[in-house]
Structure 1
Amino acid sequence: MILLFCLPRKVRIYIFAASIIFLLSGATAYGDRFKIGVSIPLSGSLAEYGQAAQNGMLLAEEEHPEKFVAIEFLFDDNRYDSKLAVGAFNRLVDLEKIDLLYMWGVEPVLAVVPLAKKKKVPVIALTQDPSVAVDNPYVIRFLNPAEEFSKKTLEYLRTKNVKHIGILKAEMTFCNLMVEGLRRNLAEGESIEIIESVLPSELDFKAIVTRLRSMSFDILGLYLVPNQVRSYYRQAQEQKLSMPIFGTTNFESRELIDDLGAAMNGSIFVHSSVSEDFRRRYTARFKNDAEIAYAANGYDFASLTAELFGKDPAHLGAEGILKAYVNSFEFKLVVKRILNGEIEEIPGT
């Protein structure tokens, strides 16, 4: 953005004319721009996640505009829908001629990576599913695999002497991966029981809550989509059922915590650690901390990209671009707890 209002009128005219010529030429001080397509949910039930990632990227650019002169982000809303994600991929690749694609979410990524391999488009994928990068040189995951989330969860539960775990889950790849990770890492004497596996659209848990009253678990795992988490807590409250609960990354949803209030008190989940400095800067800019771990991920991705390509956006080809990212990032997982409407990282985890 060029601010002209504090300059003399004649100077403003010259700068404005020069700016128009500059923009029409499609050039920057460093030559062609490095174009990044960002396919994320910006509307729909999971918009909070995509908006956080987008905000993180925008914050990185706002804080260091000089590093992003040769970088352009092109955002496309896929609503966490696989068909829309494929459409976004085709638009960004065929029409916008992007150099790199950034995607969020297990299901959309699964739908797109075969196309990326076919068209040789490099993809940075925020997914806990490690299979997307197997035998696919055009994909790098920018998030810990599900197994690491599961291991961290079990490590913490063992400190609380948890042995018998009940799971209520949605039938979707993300939730299945989390459960498989738990199963593979159980120690002797520990067990998991799937109480019910439901469609992601199912919102009636009254019968399941009634069954839970007669079942004995040390803790209940809710591997559900956000609307289902909301429905379960409310219906459990109606039946006055209270038990220890752990969840997935969607427990970091500010909307869920605000809606459910004390019902989520004491619930735990595993997610990426976020520095207090980033949290302070982010909340000052966007006035919320919803899904801030994904905001931090977006910020880190944008900052790393600026370091790699901000001053030299040379078109390296798909393999050259991804090679630049290899071993360039690491995300620490921690256990977080919801307490009195706030999220805290549990020390020592």
Structure 2
Amino acid sequence: MRTHHVLIGLVTLVIAMAVVSFTAERKDAAASPFTVGFVLPVTGDFGVYGEAARNAGLLAVEELRQQGMSITAIVEDDRLDSKLAVSAAKKLLEVDKVDALVSFSSGETLAVCPLTRAAGVILLTEASSPEVSKCGGYTFRNFPSDVNQGRVLADRARVGGYEKVFVAYLDNDYGAGLKQEFERNFTGEAMVEAFAVQQRDFRTLVAKIKQYAPDLVVLISYPTEGSQLLTQMDQLGLRAPIIGSESTKDDSIIPLLPKGVAERFAAVAVADYTGIEAARFRESYEARFGKKPAVFADYVYDNVMLLGAAIKRCPSAEGRPACLATQIRGTTFVGATGKITFDAQGDVQAKPYDLFRITGNTFVVAK
């Protein structure tokens, strides 16, 4: 009987110790808050997209808080300027001591990724430049590399029977990277010319396009610059068909285009995801902010929700960056943009692309 009493006492003690240990771990997890920093173009010419990106990120943070997570967001504005992005990232990393960083565009991501790599901090982005694959460290992007889009643009030109192409591209990391991938894959004749971010007068560029007399114009641009270039092409009598990069597939560009241009214009972009997660995001965004999300906002939302899923598996602050990287790299996550899985370089696995044309006041898949 004494033996039984001793055994029972030992078992009770072990269970009690386990409960205490488990409770301590739970308290430690609850006491390990998480801070995510955002480096986004909230103002400036790209502000309409940066604002939507910020809103989407904050919406995700709010939803994670509702799930009981202790997470805080700090937003810094880079105005689509690499120097400002570096300054913002340094402040977030060195002063605010953020646990993860979310960035938006290619040039700014490439500027800050050496900082996050040196700090051992997770960087989540939707930047598409092929150079992002070289960031290493704890960098992950949920938008396909322009290696894929460049190939698709070249394939579309080939399938359309176009043999003489003029490529007008933004003079930044995004534009240069995509232009390079198009040239690498296109087998016909091509002339290329860069234009500046925020450029307004395109008469010289349009004259060069007209003189070259291409079968097709490939436009690698943001909506603001793209709409002005296309309008000036129409004003100067240039009637060539146009295929735009994924950044031009934004409904905001449609009312800015002359009717004739809209009929000749198409855009290559990642195929729209139509799952329930996409619908839920749009509904939540519109309910929270009273308007539709701008292009690419859903990728920021997914990056934060993906991060939240990883945080749940890495509750302790000790060793968390490595734990988060392991969880993110090994995840299969389905969000507003569809299925997300990463390769060894932190790039999202390839997604399908479609050709979109303007119908009414929106873009639809071309038949």
Residue in structure 2 matched with residue 22 of structure 1 by the alignment: none
Contact 2:166 2:209 in 1 (8 A): no
Structure 2 unmatched ranges of 5 or more: 1-26, 332-339, 342-347
Could you tell which deviates more after superposition, 118-127 or 309-318?
309-318
Gaps of 5+ in 1: 1-26
Aligned partners of 2:283 and 2:232: how far apart in 1?
37
Deviation track 1:170-207 (CA, whole Å, cap 9, x = no partner) reads 322211111111122224xx23221x223335432223
SS at match of 1:137: coil
| Correspondence list, 1:41-120, <5 A | 41-61=41-61, 65-67=65-67, 69-120=69-120
1:302 and 2:285 matched: no
State the alpha-carbon separation in 2 of the partners of residues 174 and 100 from structure 1.
23
Q: Does 1:215 align with 2:217?
A: no
Q: Quick one: structure 1 residues 105 and 216, their matched pair in 2 at CA, closer, same or farther if it must change by over 3 Å?
A: same
Is 1:323 the equivalent of 2:321? Answer: no
Partner of residue 353 from structure 2, selected from 330, 334, 338:
334
**1:31 & 1:80 partners in 2: Cα distance?**
36
Deviation, structure 1 residue 96: 1.6
Partner of 1:12: none
**Map of 1:272 onto structure 2:** 270
Residue 192 of structure 1: aligned partner: 190
Q: What amino acid sits opposite 1:174 in the alignment?
A: Y
| Residue-by-residue CA offset, 1:56-95 (whole Å, 9 max, x unaligned) | 3344455565335222222211111112111211221122
Q: In 2, distance between residues paired with 1:254 and 1:30?
A: 43
Q: Secondary structure at the match of 1:222?
A: strand
Tell me the secondary structure at the aligned position of residue 256 of structure 1: helix
The count of residues paired between Structure 1 and Structure 2 equals 317
Q: What is the CA–CA distance in structure 2 between the aligned matches of 1:282 and 1:181, rounded to whole Å?
A: 36
Contact 2:127 2:143 in 1 (8 A): yes
- Distance in 1 between residues matched to 2:293 and 2:256, nearest whole Å: 13
Asked whether 1:344 is paired with 2:364, we answer yes
Distance 1:39 1:305 in 2: 16
Work out whether residues 43 and 77 of structure 1, in 8 Å CA contact, stay in contact via their aligned partners in 2: yes
Say which SS state the counterpart of residue 30 (structure 2) adopts: coil
Q: Which amino acid aligns with 2:269?
A: H
- Confirm or deny: 8 A CA contact 1:269 1:337 kept in the other structure: yes
| Shift in alpha-carbon separation, 1:28–1:272, aligned structure 2, 3 A | farther
Partner letter of residue 267 of structure 1?
A: F
1:203–1:75 Cα change, 3 Å: same
Q: 1:28 to 1:317 in 2, by over 3 A?
A: closer
1:60/1:109 CA distance change after superposition, 3 Å: closer
Q: Does 1:205 align with 2:225?
A: no
Once residues 298 and 333 of structure 1 are traced to their aligned partners in structure 2, the CA distance between those partners, rounded to angstroms, is 19
Question: Which amino acid is 1:90 matched to?
Answer: K
- In structure 1, how many angstroms separate the alpha carbons of the residues matched to 2:285 and 2:37? 25
Shift in alpha-carbon separation, 1:207–1:320, aligned structure 2, 3 A: same
Q: Give the aligned residue type for 1:40.
A: L
Please say if residues 153 and 269 of structure 1, whose CA atoms lie closer than 8 Å, have aligned partners that are also in contact.
no
1:157 aligns with 2:157: yes
Q: RMSD between aligned alpha carbons?
A: 2.8
Displacement after TM superposition at 1:134 (Å)? 2.3
Q: How does 1:32-47 map to 2 (within 5 A)?
A: 32-47=32-47
Alpha-carbon displacement from aligned partner over 1:232-270 (angstroms, at most 9, x marks no partner) = 122122223222111223213343323235333442223
Name the residue aligned to 2:345.
none
Give the Å deviation of 1:108: 1.0
Number of the residue aligned with 1:129: 129
2:236 maps to 1:239? yes
1:167 positional shift: 0.8
Hey, what's the Cα distance between the residues in 2 that align with 1:139 and 1:133? 8
Change (3 A) 1:61 1:112: closer
Amino acid aligned to 1:205: F
CA distance 1:265–1:325, shift in 2 (3 Å)? farther
Structure number with bigger Rg: 2
SS in structure 2 at match of 1:73: strand
Which range moved further: 54-63 or 135-144? 54-63
Aligned counterparts of 2:86 and 2:142: Cα–Cα separation in 1: 20
8 Å contact kept, 1:56–1:298: yes
- For 1:150 and 1:323, the matched residues in 2 are separated by 30
